Amino acid sequence: MPDSVPEPGYIKYIEHWGSDKRIIEAARMSTNKGFKGWPKDEKLLGYLWRNKHYTPFEMAGMVLEIKAPIFVFREWHRHRTQSYNEMSARYTPLPDENYIPTLERIKMDGGKNKQAVGVGPKISDVRANIWLKDLRFSYLVSQNTYAEALVSGVPKELARLSVPAGRYSKMRASANLRNWLAFLSLRMAPEAQWEIRQYANDVAEHIELQFPRTYALFHETALSANVG
Amino acid sequence: MPDSVPEPGYIKYIEHWGSDKRIIEAARMSTNKGFKGWPKDEKLLGYLWRNKHYTPFEMAGMVLEIKAPIFVFREWHRHRTQSYNEMSARYTPLPDENYIPTLERIKMDGGKNKQAVGVGPKISDVRANIWLKDLRFSYLVSQNTYAEALVSGVPKELARLSVPAGRYSKMRASANLRNWLAFLSLRMAPEAQWEIRQYANDVAEHIELQFPRTYALFHETALSANVG
Amino acid sequence: MPDSVPEPGYIKYIEHWGSDKRIIEAARMSTNKGFKGWPKDEKLLGYLWRNKHYTPFEMAGMVLEIKAPIFVFREWHRHRTQSYNEMSARYTPLPDENYIPTLERIKMDGGKNKQAVGVGPKISDVRANIWLKDLRFSYLVSQNTYAEALVSGVPKELARLSVPAGRYSKMRASANLRNWLAFLSLRMAPEAQWEIRQYANDVAEHIELQFPRTYALFHETALSANVG
Amino acid sequence: MPDSVPEPGYIKYIEHWGSDKRIIEAARMSTNKGFKGWPKDEKLLGYLWRNKHYTPFEMAGMVLEIKAPIFVFREWHRHRTQSYNEMSARYTPLPDENYIPTLERIKMDGGKNKQAVGVGPKISDVRANIWLKDLRFSYLVSQNTYAEALVSGVPKELARLSVPAGRYSKMRASANLRNWLAFLSLRMAPEAQWEIRQYANDVAEHIELQFPRTYALFHETALSANVG
């Protein structure tokens, strides 16, 4: 399956601050020295990373905009070191966009991830398709109930009661590099749910683009260890 | 309307640590002295509170168990200084319990809170009742789709897609007293949604029981100012 | 007295991210809209600030480099939402630079700040000058002991025992705008020690330069209220 | 050398909250179940720990009182997830107690810890003793200058300039169990400075006493891995 966020979800780069070089500069505060240049300072960068001297990695960071289903945001928001501003159904109706998994996704072999596996023997195409049809119907009923509430004069903050976990929402998220890497180490891992893993993979690409040397170190080590 | 959490929601006290006295002891570290006794030390407690010396209030805290609809937890989890462990539909099916607002609640005058007010003129009993009937039907369809998914062998982590924002979940939450009071100052305020306000009111009762002198200070001042 | 950091201390701008506009963009996520333009959006910015909707102010920030005496850093580091990388006497000898207050500073009227005032009647020039001479001598003895330790082969991490609270150190500090403003509201206040207040004033100038509209709101309101 | 805090330093237990059982209860929220009993639930506790599901360990914690030299507190306060209330020389004179390392400590083999080793060949008893004599003299001059300032009417907040890094201070510190264990994993490690390591060892004893099953898991694994 494609390792990227399914439509209409997206990850959009807003901005970043700092750089691999800035991390070195911050670390060199401890010895009252500065950046010496690449590739020479790759050794120090690797030392910091491997010895878990993570504070210099707090001197850089990134702001992203994300569109994802609510159940993905529910997992995401457990990361309490990020800053969030999300679309709110208290203030504006959530557009009628809902996540529909592919047949391939539903039948996916979860590997070591027991949560990704169904209760019975592998689900048949027939049953999966029946559920997908019913899911679409459930989404439709939820939306009709929501739309009716809004038209009838039910307060928006109550109208949302029927909105399903599969409904898309949007947010901006900001974190420093240390905390983005902690997020990635948990959410790119095979135990993470497939959906948030696609988002994490996309976040990783933006991180790699702006912080290539740090990302290379993370990639080598962090998926088998914890970033903290 | 009754100022308490609607059934089947609840707030259950698990434990607390510290006390009004402990706060004084911590504050007195700065001058190398200790607790002198009540009511004498009420003056210092008031001084700390009014001058926003909040760190001594971090030396006490409380753990609670909460059952509430998902849309309430979505607001609650924005408080990133609390610790959470929530029931997860990845691991266990969420029981079929959903929040149904009362007619009185739907027609409530939101006061200064524009989010609590519907779009049109005050909603009629007839339209409100129609929506409530439709909400029950939407909940039913969502649940049937969910139950079918679980039986068919759809992984639990996907089966939850149809689960509505009104579905009940459960969690434990822990925070220090400073952060509980910050939570209360935002969630007991008239701008907060009525539902989370009922939970905040119940939290406040537990706080008042264990930390009566601190709560009295909060009650005097914090609803008109920010706790930080 | 001049309202700026005394030599050889300094505040050096390293970089910032976000802008007044980005704050509006983040806040508008809640209603699924974007930035509309100045001065139109000043109204929203003011609304966010005055109603303590602080999370959009977390979408911007600044990295600074600071040289200050250790007693100033001891106060600074109580702000646990900033990221720090400081020069460390475990790794490198701290240069022999120490803070010497001016006569004017020693005799300063502390106003409401009782900590800024001496125990007796206002200190005389004669006694203040005697203390200053003795302070220089104490600094000299501390430094000789430190230098001797380093030459003798005492580990750097122990050699530092004689280093005084007035010794200069250096660090980089990074925080988002919300947290910088919380820092300023406490450290620009008249109760703050004069020395850290000079640093806060300099931080404020950098904040004002990059986030002029937000700073204007802060300046109007925050010194009399808490940022949180 | 004795593995405990040198006099007059100390670690004093104030209180704790939660227990190994509470951690299980919190973790079982995810599956809507509760505590089943020991030793049965040791398996789950071990699973949580080894798979870095650390949030249930935030449902317990401890408050301690610590007396230690300022250079130890400077390292300690880098742990930004603890709450602190420290004695302050702005408010009260710091008693004349200063850390004097033993000869054994000065000559200690730092092992892999290069910071613990002097610059030259291993320091001789003679040179170490000369430095110790000079350190005592430096402490004496610092204190005389400090005492004189206080008597002369120099504000306390300035009088402290001559106070050395070896001077004892006191504080209360509170953290949840997850964060105490993160502290221990860094400060019990051989790379940590010997002095803070003694404090960490004492903290560990208090943790072990109250949370024996969790501590056993930590002890097995955490000194070779990161707690996060």
pLDDT tens-digit readout, C47-60: 999 999 999 999 99
Q: How far is D153 from chain C (nearest CA, A)?
A: 4
User: What is the chain D residue with the closest CA to A182?
Assistant: D228
- The whole-angstrom distance between D220's CA and the closest CA on chain A is 16
Alpha-carbon torsion C181, A76, D174, A59, what sign? negative
Nearest Cβ partner of D172 from B26, B61, B171?
A: B26
Length of chain D: 228
Q: Which residue among the candidates A160, A167, A178, A187 is catalytic per the annotation?
A: A187
C35-39 average pLDDT score: 97
Contact D131 C154 (CB under 8 A): yes
Beta strands in B19-152 (DSSP E): 61-69, 83-86
Decide if C131 contacts D149 (C-beta within 8 A).
Answer: yes
Please give, rounded to a whole number of angstroms, the shortest distance from the CA of D72 to a CA of chain A.
17
Q: Which DSSP string do the residues of B13-59 spell out, in sequence order?
A: EEEEE--HHHHHHHHGGGGT-----TTTTHHHHHHHHHTT--GGGGG
Q: Are D180 and D66 in contact (CB under 8 A)?
A: no
Return the pLDDT at C121: 64
Which of A140, A161, A179 to mutate against chain B (most B CBs within 10 Å)? A161
Phi/psi class of residue A52: alpha, beta or left (left: φ > 0; alpha: ψ in -120 to 50)?
left
Q: Torsions phi, psi of D110, nearest 5?
A: -75, -5
The shortest C-alpha distance from D196 to chain C (Å) reads 11
Residue C34 burial (CB < 10 Å; 0-12/13-18/19+)?
exposed
Nearest to C98 by CA among C71, C122, C123, C80: C71
Mean pLDDT, chain A cut into blocks of 10 residues (228 residues total): 83 98 97 95 97 96 98 98 97 97 90 68 91 98 97 96 98 98 96 96 98 97 55
Chains within contact range of chain D (3+ C-beta pairs < 8 Å): A, B, C
CA distance C143 to C151: 12
Mean pLDDT of chain D: 93
Task: State the average pLDDT for chain C.
Answer: 93
pTM of the model: 0.95
pLDDT tens-digit map of C74-130: 999 999 999 999 999 999 999 999 999 999 999 987 766 667 777 666 899 999 999
Which residues of C have a catalytic role annotated? 187
Write the residue in C145, C156, C158 that is nearest to D101 by C-beta. Answer: C158
The residue in chain C having the minimum alpha-carbon distance to the alpha carbon of residue A34 is: C87
Residue of C14, D58, C27, A110 whose CA lies nearest to B63? D58
CA distance D166 to D146: 14
Give ∠ CA A136-A140-A143 in degrees, rounded to 5: 135
Instruction: Calculate what percentage of chain C has a pLDDT beyond 90.
Output: 88
CB–CB contact B55 D85 (8 Å):
yes
Across the interface, of D51, D191, D226, the residue whose CB is closest to A228 is D226
Is the CA virtual torsion C179, C184, C189, C191 positive or negative? positive
Quick one: pLDDT band at residue C227, thresholds 50, 70, 90? very low
For the segment D55-59, the average pLDDT, to the nearest whole number, is 98
Pick from A57, A61, B77, D80: which is nearest to C81 by CA?
D80
Is residue D114 over pLDDT 50? yes
List the single residue in B with minimal CA-CA distance to A142. B138
Distance CA(A140)–CA(A142), nearest Å, equals: 5
The letter for the amino acid at D122 is K
> Residues of D near B (CB-CB distance < 8 A)?
14-18, 22, 25-27, 29-32, 55-56, 58-59, 61, 63, 65, 83-88, 91-92, 95, 170-172, 174, 176
D-chain residues near A225 (CB < 8 A):
225-226
What are the residues whose beta carbons fall under 8 Å from the beta carbon of A42, sequence distance 6 or more? A213
Low-confidence winner among A66-75, B17-26, B117-126, D173-182 (lowest mean pLDDT): B117-126
Write the CA distances from C111 to C116, C117, C192, integer angstroms.
8, 8, 11
Percentages helix, strand, coil for chain D (3-state, rounded to 5) are 50, 15, 35
CA distances for A216 relative to A55, A208, A210, C43, angstroms: 18, 8, 12, 44
Tokens linked to D109: 């083999």
Confidence of residue C224 (pLDDT cuts 50, 70, 90): low
The DSSP symbol for A167 reads B
A interface mutation test: which of B143, B145, B179 has the most A CBs within 10 A?
B145
- Indicate the pLDDT class of residue D6, thresholds 50, 70 and 90: very high
Output the pLDDT for position D224: 52
**Up-side HSE of residue D104: CA atoms within 13 Å toward CB?**
5
For residue C91, give the nearest of D77, D110, D115 by CB distance: D115
Bridge pairing between strands C61-69 and C10-17: antiparallel
- Shortest CA distance from D78: residue in chain A: A55
Q: What are phi and psi of B169, to 5 degrees?
A: -135, 180
Residue D36: how many other CB atoms lie within 10 Å: 11
How does DSSP classify residue B128?
H
- Which of B158, B167, B174, B197 is the best substitution to test chain A (most A C-beta atoms within 10 A)? B158
- Total residue count of chain C as it appears in this document: 228
CA angle, A172 then A177 then A183, to 5°: 70
- Contact (CB<8Å) A135/B145: yes
Confidence band (pLDDT; 50, 70, 90) for D227? very low
Q: What is the pLDDT of residue D190?
A: 92
* HSE-up of residue D218 (Cα within 13 Å, Cβ side): 26
Cα B70 from Cα B60, distance rounded (Å) = 28
DSSP class of D224? G
pLDDT per position as a tens digit, B76-114: 999 999 999 999 999 999 999 999 999 999 998 776 666
In angstroms, the CA D26 to CA C71 distance is 41
Total beta-carbon pairs less than 8 A apart between chain C and chain D: 177
Q: Do A55 and C18 touch (CB under 8 A)?
A: no
Q: Give yes or no for residue D62 having a pLDDT over 60.
A: yes
pLDDT above 80 (res C228): no
DSSP string, C156-185: HHHHGGG-BTTBEEEEEEEEEHHHHHHHHH
Contact in structure between D54 and D173 (CB atoms under 8 Å): no
- CA of residue A143 relative to chain centroid, distance: 26
Examine the pLDDT at C135 and tell me if it is beyond 70: yes
Evaluate the omega torsion of the peptide bond into residue A101 and state whether it is cis, within 30 degrees of 0. no
Indicate whether this complex's ipTM tops 0.85. yes
3-state DSSP helix/strand/coil % of chain B, to nearest 5:
50, 15, 35
In the chain, the amino acid numbered C39 is: P
Task: Give me the pLDDT at residue A116, please.
Answer: 72
Query: Residues B36, B131: contact at Cβ < 8 Å?
Result: no
Q: pLDDT-based confidence at D222, cuts 50/70/90?
A: low
Q: What is the mean pLDDT of chain B?
A: 93
Closest partner residue to B141 among A81, A90, A137, by Cβ? A137
Across chain B, which distance is largest between two alpha carbons, in Å? 67
Could you tell me if C105 and C194 are in contact, meaning their C-beta atoms sit under 8 angstroms apart? yes
- How distant is the Cα of C188 from the closest Cα of chain D, in angstroms? 16
Sign of CA dihedral C115, C120, C122, C124: negative
CB contact under 8 A, C29 and A59: no
Cβ <8 Å between C228 and B227: yes
DSSP D11: E
In D57-104, where do the E strands start and end? 61-69, 83-86
The DSSP secondary-structure symbol of A6 reads: P
Residue C223 has pLDDT above 60, yes or no: no
Separation in Å, CA of D77 to nearest CA in chain B: 14
Spatial separation of the C-alpha atoms in residues C200 and C193, rounded to whole Å: 10
SS3 at position C81: coil
- pLDDT for residue A228: 41
Q: Which of D109, D162, D104, D110 is nearest to C145 (CA)?
A: D162
Cβ pair B12, B206 in contact under 8 A: no
Question: In this structure, what DSSP letter does residue A88 have?
Answer: -
> Which has the closest alpha carbon to D143: D106, D189, D190, D97?
D97
User: Which residues does chain D have within 8 Å of residue C183's beta carbon, measured at their own beta carbons?
Assistant: none
Look at strands A61-69 and A10-17 and give their pairing.
antiparallel
Beta-bridge partner residues of B61: B17, B176
Q: First-to-last CA distance in chain B?
A: 30
- Tokens coding C111: 């106003």
